[in-house]
A and B are shown apart, each in its own frame.
Chain A
């Protein structure tokens, strides 16, 4: 087929440039190479944990741990007292929300910090179709919210005594003042111990902001509301909050009189300079680990990561100074998987073999590490692909501020043992102090280390240069197969045409034949974008359960597809009746593959992990697509198996099915229903995740086109 074409072409030209020759060679063996390339892509992905490098602190100015910690037991004792104050204030049923905030503000102002309250209304997440890539400030909506949706952040600022106030470091502790949780109180204690120390240290060069985020309506909402007011305040009256109308907030200001007038608590918005970094401190429930642990969450929206140096500093200080066990999120369910273990053993033995050849070859890691690494990598990929921030730190990334969440998980319950609690306070306080001191050392903002990476363990990472290879190998078959299909189709046509002399008009139409296929693909993609816009209207409908919303969505999508087909596709069939209406499926497949290739490549720029996972899902489906009819007619083993494969892949490729299957694989099928998909999608657009766009505008149309090919009437 293709060979004959290329062969004749080669025959016509005696000398060909090597690059052209290589291209033709690849295209003519597209089947073989596509299998090799995609297999290599998968293998490269599986190899990533082996290829991960150890992290290192790239910015020399950070100098983590080079100074002795100054946090002493005195601060810890004070912080411990604050924790008990807060937890005891919880016992008082009336006005405890204001009470705990008052206690905090008083403690802060006693330290000499500037205290202010920031009132905000929690904004309900709404679907804004055009806000996906816009700057965060444009997401502001003026809306009337009742007092019940009204939160108050407490902000304390320490001005660096000799600093110029151009930069600031932010500490965030989420705290639900309405219902004081001992863990949250403990995290406040950690922040307070550090804050009280920083108030009198001589080395401080950047201002320190301590934001006690009111987490009544979610941690993220409070932090992002504060950040929005910090960066894009609204001066006109419309934007300000009518907090005076709410009784609670008036209550809050009543305290100003109680407090000494020397440091009146300021009701305006206090600012410090440009933010250098932000740390969110949280405390988890008692962990079943044997040691005190520290979990690092770094993923922000759309797979953006903070600079690797920030994670490195935290990791270094936690492991080497404070003896905490550092974890990053991983898929625990992957740890027990058999094939992964086997693979790990294979890689391990390969590593041994390589070392036996040359002891300098550092290849291969123990199978255990491999499994852990791949579980972490999978979680890292998944969280980045989802595009939903894993904590309040995500709000900072929208303003180009490097931020991470540190979740400290104590070994034992914090309530029981005061001595243990103080010990952990001291250690975690010292950790935070060390990180702040490192960031404080920074003259320039974080720029030295990586921004694009995947973590395989707290101390190991895969940089963009390595993981791009896997993706490039994975998507390489798409253009190859697309070209080869196109070449085949045009050759077969020309061979057909050779028999009967054709008028030139047909030739021109023949050469533009791919346009019909392209039009079809375009219509389907247009439909895809319509489908992605539909939820905006669906969620306007009152009182819909996720399941009904989902069903409405599906129905509307099908309806819109039919409508579109009738409006856009049918007239074209009338115009060229001479041309048989059928578009040859190879051409259609080639256009589909090209569209998928372009979509994946675009997505890899926006969010690499989405493109990687999407590529894994879409590639077999797209490459395998073949009409079922001839396969079934042929009744040979090969064609039948291909048909079955196609059916299975086509079924799995449907986004809701893929979601449910993946969810079932990781969490068990028991609790899943179709409504979950709707909720999942809702969360995606609420977080402005580009993954949503990807699903609607790349994956779904490509799937539809593949299905179309499967049921092609040729």
Chain B
């Protein structure tokens, strides 16, 4: 704390010094001269009455060598991480909930960059020789684990991470990818993430992050992406880029109106920052170069608004259908990439002028019911398990064409050669023994020869207790395809008793597969270049990122041993051992001839009176004449003595049990 207090004046001082410079100078592209930081928030109404809030923070720093060991804004922990492990690029995401590709869209930059699988996903590219990549990865996982209070260190084990070559990102050799689908995400992960921001959550947009509200949402994904580049040979000065995003999908708490079951559509709930987060923005983070709030109307909504305008001859659609409580500083319109689709709109609000006395509380009030749908990825992907029982099963990935692909491919379908390329990347733990030769591809319910559809495939089979199975595959489907399915059979393996997690009976997870569409890119070009340059979120939107979708995490029930088994095993082993050694000793020790001789010698001795009585009794029971004791009685007398002793002991035991206790 003391350190922090000491640091703060320094920081402020440095800010004061550097602020004018930052403003005067437009940071251009990838060249970073000075450290800078920008904060942005993107809000977007979603078709299913929810709101997407996407916080975007970017820090940049020139490379360590140029600034020495200290940073003004850039988190030192991250730069140390980069320096120590030679991280070239890295992405870490903590996610809770599932991104709904159907309702929230799958064809926009937010969906393709920020929709992540549940749990933790980490991938990193290292700038080290190939044989040291694994070591760097292991060290990195431990460092991140400490930094983010998460069990990322479990990714250290070679059974949990894989080295994709081209299926995930086209970086061969130095890329490692691992996921922890079961990792629970909570504030303990958010707090260290916020610590990396220069203003933490004390000022600026991050002050909006009211913990209950952001964790109450339907989707919560906190992501950290960093890239670093050394000084290139061409002399391009580069640095470290750190991008921290928090994507939440929340439902504005509107009064629960009495449900109407008419065909009429309901009015979308109106929302404001206070109703979503319970807080207002009371000024920007002073260290930020820019702090901006955007409200985005996606293409589908704009198209619907246009349609409404045409239908009802409304002069201005924005005024009548919804109302923004604050006048936007700027309205950005997307450059029309696709002719048939309407452009997306961005309302820009700069929050630099808002203060505590005049807080920024953006609200959106709907006036008319609107129904629209988000732009979906060309194919809807879902993955599920087939079969039942503890022996075997199959993984099936089903792809179903969405209406989107029709217009996307509409121009090409006339040509017969039109192909839809799909890349599948799937990591399967070793205890799911996938038989890759059983790969079957169905297109429109017809079984296809694998060679006809699969363009390229790389499989690295799993090694028991050593590495997971990895499948990278490029498939080419005909464009007019309605549905496709890929199935792979597997056997369920057996684990050693130590290898079961504490909750073994829940089943085991198969991490999400990634379905990407290399032919489709999400990029949004906006007019007004100046603001795009300034804004990191817009420059991010401009990047050509591949459309991709994560499938569901699967839960495979495996056979679990009875965990009280060790006790049983010990007991039975001891019994078997005792029996075995007893018998062995008997065999070794006994001399049958001698025993017989001894027994004969004993026969001379008369049995006792009690035994005589007993044998007489027995004879009576059997309904036979009493015969004088025969040699056989010696054996039975021996046993009966034991029996009497046993019953005596048992009787005492029972008495003790019943009466004394």
Contact = CB atoms under 8 A, between A and B. Distances in A.
**Most chain A CB inside 10 Å of its own CB: which residue of B259, B600, B632:** B632
B93 interface: no
A358 B639 contact: no
Contacts of B440: 235
Given A3-B622, A163-B97, A447-B560, A235 B371 contact: no
B218 A235 contact: no
A347 to B, nearest CB: 20
A598 to B, nearest CB: 25
Nearest to A77: B258
A237 B482 CA distance: 13
Interface in A158-184: 159, 161-167
Contacts of B568: none
Nearest to A269: B398
B577 interface: no
B388 A18 contact: no
Interface residues of B, number: 70
Contacts of B372: 262
B281 interface: no
Contacts of A165: 98, 118, 552-553
Contact of B446 (A236, A262, A268): A236
B388 A164 contact: no
A273 B554 contact: yes
Interface stretch (A6-14, A63-71, A405-413, A420-428): A6-14
A236 B445 contact: yes
Contacts of B487: 235
Given A165-B553, A235-B487, A399-B388, A444 B505 contact: yes
A162 B218 contact: yes
B328 interface: no
A110 B261 contact: yes
A7 B631 CA distance: 11
Nearest to B595: A15
Interface stretch (B168-176, B379-387, B449-457): B379-387
B338 interface: no
A369 interface: no
Contact of A273 (B483, B552, B636): B552
B414 interface: no
B181 A14 contact: no
Given A106-B261, A273-B554, A273-B555, A14 B631 contact: yes
B493 interface: no
A443 B389 CA distance: 20
Interface string B239-279: 00000000000000000100101010100000000000000
Contacts of B384: 271
Given A10-B632, A261-B371, A235 B445 contact: yes
A398 B503 contact: no
Interface of A is mostly: loop
B520 interface: no
B400 interface: yes
A78 interface: yes
Interface in A275-316: none
A363 B263 CA distance: 65
A445 B506 contact: yes
A14 B445 contact: no
A232 B396 CA distance: 10
A165 B510 CA distance: 12
Nearest to B445: A237
Contact of A400 (B265, B385, B389, B400): B389
B506 A236 contact: no
B387 A231 contact: yes
Contacts of A112: 48
A519 interface: no
Contacts of B507: 166, 274, 445
A21 B388 contact: no
B216 interface: yes
Contact of B261 (A18, A107, A167, A236): A107
Contacts of B96: 162
Interface string B617-629: 0000010100000
A164 B119 contact: yes
A166 B356 CA distance: 45
A258 interface: yes
B259 A110 contact: yes
A14 B634 contact: yes
Contacts of A16: 635
A274 B658 CA distance: 50
A493 interface: no
A260 interface: yes
A227 to B, nearest CB: 9
B630 interface: yes
Interface string B395-407: 0100010000000
A114 to B, nearest CB: 8
A240 interface: yes
A164 B511 CA distance: 11
A244 interface: no
Contact of A232 (B181, B386, B447, B485): B386
B263 A262 contact: no
A81 B262 CA distance: 13
B557 A274 contact: yes
A11 B632 contact: yes
A112 B102 CA distance: 13
B544 interface: no
B503 A443 contact: yes
B263 A259 contact: yes
Contacts of B555: 166-167, 273-274
A262 B96 CA distance: 25
A10 B595 CA distance: 16
A233 B486 CA distance: 12
Contacts of A235: 396, 440, 442, 445, 447, 485, 487
A184 B505 CA distance: 36
Contact of B388 (A13, A136, A273): A136
A273 B509 CA distance: 11
Contact of B442 (A232, A236, A261, A443): A236
Interface in A83-117: 106-107, 110, 112
B100 interface: yes
A103 to B, nearest CB: 8
Contacts of B485: 235
Nearest to B627: A7
A32 B504 CA distance: 51
Contacts of A271: 382, 384
A573 B419 CA distance: 76
A223 to B, nearest CB: 15
A692 to B, nearest CB: 22
Contact of A258 (B119, B216, B263, B639): B263
B635 A445 contact: no
Contacts of A14: 596, 599-600, 631-632, 634-635
Contacts of A162: 96-97, 217-218, 220
A137 B389 CA distance: 11
B211 interface: no
Given A14-B599, A445-B557, A260 B265 contact: yes
Interface in A339-395: 358
Contact of B509 (A137, A166, A259, A400): A166
**Most chain B CB inside 10 Å of its own CB: which residue of A3, A14, A232, A258:** A14
A135 interface: yes
Interface in A444-461: 444-445, 447
Given A137-B388, A166-B507, A273-B555, 6 more contacts: A14-B596, A14-B631, A15-B595, A21-B639, A164-B119, A200-B256
27 contacts: A10-B635, A14-B596, A14-B600, A14-B634, A106-B261, A110-B259, A110-B261, A136-B388, A162-B217, A164-B97, A164-B553, A165-B553, A166-B507, A166-B509, A166-B555, A202-B216, A231-B386, A235-B440, A235-B487, A240-B445, A262-B371, A271-B384, A273-B555, A274-B385, A274-B557, A398-B388, A445-B505
Q: Which 5 A-B pairs have the closest CB atoms?
A: A444-B505, A166-B555, A237-B445, A235-B442, A164-B118
